[in-house]
Amino acid sequence: MQSLTLQPIRSVRGAVTLPGSKSLSNRILLLAALAQGQTRITNLLDSDDVRYMLEALQQLGIDLDLSADRTECALSGAGGAFRADAQTLFLGNAGTAMRPLCAALCAGVGEYQLTGEPRMYERPIGDLVDALRACGAQIDYLQDENYPPLYIRASGLNGGLISIRGNISSQFLTAMLMAAPLCRDDLTIVVDGELVSKPYIHITLDVMARFGVQVDNHDYQRFFIKSGQKYQSPGEIMVEGDASSASYFLAAAAIAGGPVRVIGSGKNSVQGDARFAEVLEQMGAQVLWGDDWIEVRRGELHGVDVDLNHIPDAAMTIATTALFAKGPTVIRNVYNWRVKETDRLTAMATELRKVGATVEVGEDYIAIQPPERIQSAAIDTYDDHRMAMCFSLAALGDSPITINDPGCTAKTFPAYFDLFEQIAQR
């Protein structure tokens, strides 16, 4: 396993053009594949998660033409649900491929095996499978009950009234919503209990609307989708910059100077993670907002006690920013950190302690008391891109920080460490 040692960084400054959003790239690709007409997608993210979606669509017979740098894609939609022969689709550890494809495939015809990396087999999918079975889907678990790999015998989905649990992942509801217009009848989806990561549902509804499908949204608790609506290509569509990827650069600016401007996501962003900058502001940073950019400068940072359920991915960046704040920081309501790329509550606590922080972890929160001085450490990343990226901030202290397996950023941001170096001043 390779490692990367970051020498201490004195300050940061500059502008970063963000790669395309993972959440938007995979939603747009899937809906373009289900739509009538050709879609030209620009600023597509080139990363492992998107590659798995692209490869799956090609295996499903979708004709697509990628530019040499893989950030532009012309795709001819199937004009409805997939009808393919038995296929094994390998989806890595991409939640945004596994969950939405599972539902979309059930809406069509064919037999499919959905597989992935070992960690994917530890990430639950039972709540989605239950909802799909309530619409008549035939899905079998090939190993453990409630987890991939899955075997799907697809013959279309019925409509009606179904409920879905939303307390583990919003991606289950996203998957049902995107498949809903393909159902034989109108579909009403009721969320059973709490819904986590709610802003991602806003992204889903926004992309569906751009492909011509209307959803009646009753306060994110009940959704009605009229059947017979067809996804229509919008012609050309540009992917917004990734707001979760922006968080590392903005946090670096809040800690060590700036200004740093991220370009591609701003006050008009459809992504909930753009609101990460509000948390930095609450901690004492100075934030400027443009339509499609955000700029941050250093402030005297102080710890905060915050519920970050709405921005679970960017919330990890607050955990390492807390190393530089005065006083403790508590991040609450992030139980589902435990079912993502790794158990992020445990991993975060272990690695924060290595650099000298005092950390308390509960079932759904983490409390971080920063150290007097950040200690040099070799950070394990647990095959979790966000562990690697958010711990790069620890190099803004005055000790070198080693990141083990920095290549794991390939999941969503292969060029991360190159861009981070470009804003670093030593």
Ligand X SMILES: O=C(O)C1=C[C@@H](OP(=O)(O)O)[C@@H](O)[C@H](O)C1
Q: Would you please indicate which residues are annotated as catalytic (active-site) residues? A: 313
Q: For the window 14-53, what string marks contact with ligand X as x by the rule CB under 6 A? A: ---------x------------------------------
Q: Which is nearer to ligand PEP, 341 or 351 (CB)?
A: 341
Q: Tell whether residue 83 is among the known ligand binding residues.
A: no
Q: Which is nearer to ligand PEP, 125 or 205 (CB)?
A: 125
For tokens 């996203």, the residue is: 174
Number of residues that bind ligand PEP (CB under 6 A): 9
Q: Which is nearer to ligand PEP, 233 or 409 (CB)?
A: 409
Q: Tell whether residue 210 is among the known ligand binding residues.
A: no
- Cα distance between residue 66 and residue 184, in whole Å: 33
- Cα distance between residue 424 and residue 276, in whole Å: 21
Q: Tell whether residue 155 is among the known ligand binding residues.
A: no
- Cα distance between residue 211 and residue 39, in whole Å: 10
Name residues contacting ligand PEP, limited to 404-423 (CB under 6 A): 412
Q: Which is nearer to ligand PEP, 261 or 340 (CB)?
A: 340
**C-alpha pair distances (Å), 426 with each of 12, 219, 423:** 9, 49, 10
- The yes or no reply on residue 96 touching ligand PEP (CB under 6 A) is yes
Name residues contacting ligand PEP, limited to 289-318 (CB under 6 A): 313
- The yes or no reply on residue 148 touching ligand PEP (CB under 6 A) is no
**C-alpha pair distances (Å), 329 with each of 306, 360, 401:** 8, 11, 22
- Cα distance between residue 249 and residue 186, in whole Å: 44
Helix (H), strand (E) at residue 87:
strand 87-90
Q: Binding ligand X by CB under 6 A: which of 171, 245, 404, 409?
A: 171
Q: Binding ligand X by CB under 6 A: which of 200, 248, 335, 420?
A: 200
Q: Binding ligand PEP by CB under 6 A: which of 9, 340, 365, 420?
A: 340
Q: Minimum distance between the CB of residue 356 and ligand X, rounded to whole angstroms?
A: 28
Q: Coil, strand or helix: which one is 16?
A: strand
**C-alpha pair distances (Å), 198 with each of 47, 134, 363:** 24, 23, 20
Q: Binding ligand X by CB under 6 A: which of 39, 170, 269, 381?
A: 170
Q: Minimum distance between the CB of residue 99 and ligand PEP, rounded to whole angstroms?
A: 8
Q: Tell whether residue 376 is among the known ligand binding residues.
A: no
Which tokens in the block code for residue 57?
């669509």
Name residues contacting ligand PEP, limited to 55-94 (CB under 6 A): 93-94
Q: 197 touches which of ligand X, ligand PEP, none (CB within 5 to 8 A by kind)?
A: ligand X
Which tokens in the block code for residue 97?
């491929």
Q: Which is nearer to ligand X, 197 or 329 (CB)?
A: 197
Chain centroid offset of residue 5 CA: 27
Which tokens in the block code for residue 292?
């499609």
Helices (H), 169-307: 171-179, 199-210, 243-256, 276-283
- Cα distance between residue 137 and residue 139, in whole Å: 6
The end-to-end CA distance of the chain, in Å, is: 27
Under 8 Å between Cβ of 196 and 309: yes
* Interaction site with ligand X (CB under 6 A): 23, 95-96, 169-171, 174, 196-197, 200, 312-313, 336
Residues tagged in the binding site annotation for phosphoenolpyruvate: 22, 95, 123, 171, 344, 386, 411
* Interaction site with ligand PEP (CB under 6 A): 93-96, 313, 340-341, 386, 412
